[in-house]
Amino acid sequence: MSFPKVLVLAIAVPLDLNNQNRMIKIKLHNTLTRKKQTFVPLDENNVRLYLCGPTVYDRAHLGNARNVIMFDVLYRLLIEVYGNNSVTYVRNFTDIDDKINNKSIESGRPISDITAETIHWYLEDMAALGNLDPNFMPRATDYIPQMINYIERLIAEGFAYTEEGHVLFSVSKYKNYGQLSGRSIGDMIAGARVEIASYKRDPMDFVLWKPSDQDLPGWESPWGRGRPGWHIECSAMAHDLLGATFDIHGGGNDLQFPHHENEIAQSCCAYPESEFARYWLHNEMLQVDGKKMSKSLGNFFTVRDLLDQGYAGEVIRFVFLSTHYSKPMDWNASKALEATSILRKWHGLIKNNSDIIPVPEEVVKKLSDDLNTAGVISLLHNYANNGEIGKLKAAANFLGLLTEEMSEWFADVDMSSLEDLFIDFRNRAIESKNFKNVDELRSKLTGAGVDVQIGKSNVLIVPNARFDRQKLDEIKIYYDLN
């Protein structure tokens, strides 16, 4: 009896099919080497990434959404190339921090209420922007034993010391300190306003553990009741969930120093055989008038503010994807208006299309070039202009656009007759200097939960979160529109 050939084929074929996209090379700009490099995962069957998540004491501001969207796109790309079950994405919640403690003291509310509420808001807001949930979303306070274990290793190996109830990492013991941010120790001291404290042997040393008074959150430890410093949590959670060496680590470029520099130092010292993260991705800041949007500068608005003003999550996502993550960007209303008009056109195009086709290879290749999201958007324009609607839908869905969940705001209603009427009323009002009719129309529209966005050459009427289809139909009847 000869060996059945068919059996051999049956084993070989599915593996090959699975791997067809693995031929595509992903290139990423690695902050650690300052080069665009071909991405080679440690294990093709388990590509591992970690993103530093939010400190949960308040609503996320729009800037906080930038790397969430960027990593979401990276996650989708890795899934497309390596397969759905071959990617592990971790994003943490920092739920122990003095900002949280202060908020609790100011408001008189328990910390656990504040963090639970903020986490709930955060997940709601990030989902509204079309982001998939990571595979793991660990909370720092669930990893205190792992952090203590990590710190004990560092003390045992002579990389950390105790002083006045604190445990500090001794920066001079790690020879590669400064490699990620590319700064000298002198620059770092000057630039980061490092804290000089009596318990530090060197001003650059950073806190791994600090004592807590009875009225502050604290855990028993070999150094007394206390709480962790900021940086140790990410090292401990990444180690626990992804291993000592993993593939990609990210965050905003404001985290490069000191946060990520310190993560590398403590991780590479606690586990000398490991590399910690092999590729580091940092996004540029979302700005307001040329300055970083931040809570401390007070120049921020939250994701929820925008959603409540009637900007669809899909529109916000589109605006973010239009600029490469490595460039500074501003949010402004005219970008949102343009995005709204493009997305409306595309929604109209795909409305009756039921094609189910794979993501075009040129799209995957474009995105593989250091997450060139703006390049993919140009391809979407080409597909729309050439009538390649199946491709438009597949490629947009791949970016998290034009999906069913993201389409609610579009609501499949024809606003063109109302828009024409609005323009007509407005032109007459400008001529006659009597705005009664246009004001009346506008207030009826507001009551029906739609926004009137006025551009240079056009007017768009867009449903917002309070959209009421029945009221809109009543307005159309009132004005005798179809």
Find the angle CA(409)-CA(413)-CA(416) to the nearest 5 degrees.
115
Shortest Cβ 326–ligand AMP spacing (Å): 12
Interface with Zn ion (CB under 5 A), residue total: 2
Q: Which stretch binds ligand AMP (CB under 6 A): 102-110, 248-256, 380-388, 407-415?
A: 248-256
Residue number with CB closer to ligand AMP (54 or 178): 54
- Closest CB to ligand AMP among residues 320, 467: 320
Q: Which of 78, 144, 234, 384 binds Zn ion (CB under 5 A)?
A: 234
Residue 310 interaction partner, one of ligand AMP, Zn ion, none, beta carbon < 5-8 Å per kind: none
User: According to CB under 6 A, which residues from 316 to 375 bind ligand AMP?
Assistant: none
CA-based nearest residue to 64, from 352, 314, 302: 302
End-to-end distance of the chain based on CA atoms, in angstroms?
77
The residue (of 104 and 221) whose beta carbon lies closer to ligand AMP is 104
Considering beta carbons, is residue 162 or 326 the nearer one to ligand AMP?
Answer: 326
**Is residue 64 within the footprint of ligand AMP (CB under 6 A)?**
yes
Radius of gyration of the chain (CA): 26
Tokens, residue 190: 């000057």
Q: How far is the CB of 229 from Zn ion (least distance, A)?
A: 12
Instruction: Select 170 or 283, whichever has its Cβ closest to ligand AMP.
Output: 283
For ligand AMP, which residue of 79, 293, 395, 448 counts as binding (CB under 6 A)?
Answer: 293
Among 66, 91, 210, 227, interactor with ligand AMP by CB under 6 A:
66
Burial level of 229, CB count in 10 A (0-12/13-18/19+)?
buried
H/E stretch holding 17? helix 5-18
Q: Which amino acid is at 425?
A: F
Q: What angle do CA 324, 262, 177 make, to 5 degrees?
A: 95
Tell the smallest beta-carbon distance from residue 55 to ligand AMP (Å). Answer: 4
| Torsion from C-alpha of 260, 264, 267, 273, nearest 10 degrees | 160
Q: Is 140 in the site for ligand AMP (CB under 6 A)?
A: no
Which stretch of DSSP H or E encloses residue 11? helix 5-18
**With binding defined as CB under 5 A, does residue 52 bind Zn ion?**
yes
Region binding ligand AMP by CB under 6 A among candidate stretches 20-28, 292-300, 380-388, 468-476: 292-300
- Least distance (Å) from ligand AMP to the CB of residue 50? 11
Strands 245-252 and 47-51: parallel
Q: Among 373, 429, 430, 424, which residue's Cα sits nearest to residue 398? A: 373
Q: How far is the CB of 67 from ligand AMP (least distance, A)?
A: 5
Q: Does 67 bind ligand AMP (CB under 6 A)?
A: yes
Quote the tokens at residue 314.
């899909």
Is the dihedral angle over the CA atoms 84, 93, 255, 208 positive or is it negative? negative
Which residue sits closest to ligand AMP, CB atoms considered? 252
Residue 55 sits in the site that holds ligand AMP (CB under 6 A): yes
Binding segment (CB under 5 A) for Zn ion, from list 50-58, 70-78, 125-133, 191-199? 50-58
Distance of closest approach, residue 53 Cβ to Zn ion, in angstroms: 8
- Contacted entry of ligand AMP, Zn ion, none for residue 234, CB cut-off 5 to 8 Å set by kind: Zn ion
Pick the piece of the chain touching ligand AMP (CB under 6 A) from 278-286, 370-378, 405-413, 424-432. 278-286
Question: Which residues, including other chains, have CB under 8 Å from residue 436's CB and lie 6 or more apart?
Answer: 429
Give, as one character, the DSSP assignment of residue 93.
Answer: B
Q: Residue 226 binds which entry of Zn ion, ligand AMP, none, with Cβ cut-offs from 5 to 8 Å by kind? A: none
Q: Which is nearer to ligand AMP, 52 or 277 (CB)?
A: 52
For 338-353, the DSSP string reads: HHHHHHHHHHHHHTT-
Name which position in 26, 47, 54, 80 contacts ligand AMP (CB under 6 A): 54
Instruction: Give 110: exposed, middle or buried? Use CB within 10 Å, 0-12, 13-18, 19+.
Output: exposed
Q: 240 and 143 in contact (C-beta within 8 Å)?
A: yes
Question: What region does 326 belong to: left with phi over 0, alpha with psi -120 to 50, or beta?
Answer: alpha
Binding site for ligand AMP (CB under 6 A): 52, 54-55, 63-64, 66-67, 251-252, 254-255, 283, 285-286, 292-294
